[in-house]
Structure 1
């Protein structure tokens, strides 16, 4: 009889386990990525004399990661369906230019809405999302219905949309943008201490509810479940991670000079000894919302099932009745919409639209998805993996910048990490397949 025998918890069947990690049912590849991220942080913290893991740098790292991470969630679907999108950075620039011109020229000059009008930021964002979705759908049509390889379509798009953005703005930097619009960039829009704790506690409650609901769903289908202690362990780790992140962001105080300017702008005098913290940025909340929505699409919808089925075996999916051509259009349209959302965050963080916005983002986005475990052969990928991949990428670049590494060498390191990640993924999948 094997040592790893099946057991029962509360009268329910549990899966046969061999060790602690398997009992928790945690993805070993995810653990490896988390371990790599921790190593990167610790190494750079030593090299920067403790400056890397300060609240200020973690805050900056979080808002710098958002734009690429949002697009990486869409790139997962693109790669899972065995395509590629090299135009995401250029499309981001086009969407940014469209929103900037809408705010500063079209709405004020054509419709008489002055900068600061409450409708301006929302109209601009709708325009940006509409532009991104339309361009993405057009590229998807070329790939899905005209059968032009996605590599060629999006390589052409990289050249076309970058220069469309240039012509839209006549090559000029457009700004300043609407104040409400800029709150989605990071430091100009945060929740503060109290609301951050409230959001953190709600996130903990939602995570625990989701884990327990998944357990009850397995029970209802008479499927094996983890022991109760394992469920509580996972909930505890997730809760500590969420509340720890909130605590770090809430420890980053707003500089006194900035507070004085804010009070002065409101016509008030700052009280003696007054302090305040930034808390969770609105852009991070936007990333969380996108991540949750994309995860639900991937796991809970017919559209998501079709995406992974098509990526696993396109011929079988088509024979099963999946309209793979229209599916391609939808996936690229979704990618375009996410590029527009990333453009909102990127331009709001810069407080203007510049010609070089989104440059090389296509490489960072693809790298984030691949490092996060998305298989280039298609059929396999996770949203949380892509976000963690984006965080690792940004941590590498931020750490190297703090150490003083030149930009060319930074790109060389990122390229090396990308190739190494693909090699590790190939080895990992071979070992899993052998078992």
Structure 2
């Protein structure tokens, strides 16, 4: 009892001797690396907003930025698990292109002959076929890596070339269009958004989920005797989380439909056109909702399921994981199969957004996906990474690309910047791990 009392007094004395900033971060348990990335993103946003004459931080550009980020963010969630296990997947862009082309051919050429155009089942069959194909390709890569002991770098580099070539052979280089009307909703746009009311409902549900998560975390800590955060820290995290969610909803609801589309909508529904025009908010885009749902599911898989624990155990120490009875080969196969399914979801978003399947689809997406995961804090040494960090990394990468386009920077220089950012991110990861030892 005396030891516990002495320890408590020691902790209080240490807290009192710390500066306010350290006490704040210790109390709130905010990830400083994640916070640093948020700060870097804000600097990027403000910088590009100044250089573009105020165009970057407009509701229109931020809405488009969220849609453009969705497909890479989806793949980045899977890349986290791949890199955590000390592997790499260079084929994700080519898998996206190949699966996207197969889905395009299915809904534009094959299924209409069997079911008719715009049949209600067309988009479901197409998406299911894409998911199965993506999972199959990923499982094939994983099996070669796990059971034939071929390095993942070589297997997926071969996959990058094979599936990119296969994409061309599916249609002999043709672009396939248009896509099914319901399928196109997954790409965003005016119709592919949920509107203002539904967006506010989603925002309220998200705030309730934040409150419930923080309350449940406190309950579990108390149950198992873990240290509790101060109540002011709990209130601070809840307030900031809800404010960010509701602020994002306000931004997407500030972006109205284009005048021509709004006028057609008014004419079709017998709405009198007001003098100042008709303001119809876009709301949250469907691909953004898909990315958020994927992020939540992947976070649950990586932090709450046994499979997630196996993944991090494999990445932390492969030999110990094998000795502990984990079937490491099958874990590897499942990780790459999951990566393939996420590539299929990204392919659906990309194909729907373009309203076409093209041979150039997904080119260099492997670079952006790996960069997003690494910038988000996933260590190339394995054993460390977060889904939220990778998705934020995807937003940072897309912010760079979008900002450079607005400023008028040429594509070759854009690639130079992305390459430099990736190298710096890996260097920072090395420095961080060295200091953590």
Question: If the length of structure 1 is used for normalisation, what is the TM-score?
Answer: 0.94
Mapped partners of 2:150, 2:207: distance in 1: 45
Q: Structure 1 304/2 Cα, relative in aligned 2: closer, same or farther at 3 Å?
A: closer
Q: Contact 2:263 / 2:273 at 8 angstroms: preserved in 1?
A: no
Q: Contact 1:4 / 1:18 at 8 angstroms: preserved in 2?
A: no
The corresponding residue for 1:136 is 138
Q: Structure 1 192/267 Cα, relative in aligned 2: closer, same or farther at 3 Å?
A: closer
Number of equivalent positions: 421
Mapped partners of 1:33, 1:71: distance in 2: 19
The corresponding residue for 1:236 is 239
Q: Structure 1 214/408 Cα, relative in aligned 2: closer, same or farther at 3 Å?
A: same
What is the SS of the residue equivalent to 2:153?
Answer: helix
Deviations 1:324-370 (A, max 9, x none): 10111000000000000000100111111111000000111001001
The corresponding residue for 2:120 is 118
Q: Contact 2:94 / 2:163 at 8 angstroms: preserved in 1?
A: yes
The corresponding residue for 2:18 is none
The structural deviation recorded for 1:262 is 3.5
Q: Contact 1:259 / 1:270 at 8 angstroms: preserved in 2?
A: no
The corresponding residue for 1:166 is 168
**RMSD over equivalenced CA pairs, Å:** 1.6
The answer to whether 1:19 aligns with 2:30 is no
The answer to whether 1:355 aligns with 2:359 is yes
Mapped partners of 1:291, 1:405: distance in 2: 31
Deviations 1:26-59 (A, max 9, x none): 0110110000000000100110111100000000
The corresponding residue for 1:193 is 196
The corresponding residue for 1:276 is 280
The corresponding residue for 1:153 is 155
The structural deviation recorded for 1:300 is 0.3
The corresponding residue for 2:291 is 287
Q: Contact 1:252 / 1:277 at 8 angstroms: preserved in 2?
A: yes
The corresponding residue for 1:12 is none
Map 1:336-355 to 2 at 5 A: 336-355=340-359
What is the SS of the residue equivalent to 1:358?
Answer: coil
Mapped partners of 1:183, 1:359: distance in 2: 23
* Structure 2, unaligned runs of 5 or more: 1-5, 13-20
The corresponding residue for 2:262 is 259
The answer to whether 1:248 aligns with 2:251 is yes
What is the SS of the residue equivalent to 2:182?
Answer: helix
The structural deviation recorded for 1:392 is 0.4
Map 1:84-123 to 2 at 5 A: 84-109=88-113, 111=114, 113-123=115-125
Mapped partners of 2:367, 2:261: distance in 1: 36
The answer to whether 1:33 aligns with 2:37 is yes
Q: Contact 2:266 / 2:273 at 8 angstroms: preserved in 1?
A: no
The structural deviation recorded for 1:194 is 0.7
Within the candidate set 212, 215, 218, 2:218 is matched to 215
Deviations 1:80-125 (A, max 9, x none): 011100000000011101111110122122x2x1221100001000
The answer to whether 1:371 aligns with 2:393 is no
The answer to whether 1:402 aligns with 2:420 is no
Mapped partners of 1:369, 1:100: distance in 2: 28
The structural deviation recorded for 1:267 is 6.8
What is the SS of the residue equivalent to 1:179?
Answer: coil
Within the candidate set 287, 299, 303, 1:299 is matched to 303
The corresponding residue for 1:381 is 385
Q: Contact 1:104 / 1:175 at 8 angstroms: preserved in 2?
A: yes
Deviations 1:264-298 (A, max 9, x none): 5x474653343201000011110110000000001
The structural deviation recorded for 1:240 is 0.6
Deviations 1:233-254 (A, max 9, x none): 0111111100000000000011
What is the SS of the residue equivalent to 2:246?
Answer: helix
The answer to whether 1:45 aligns with 2:72 is no
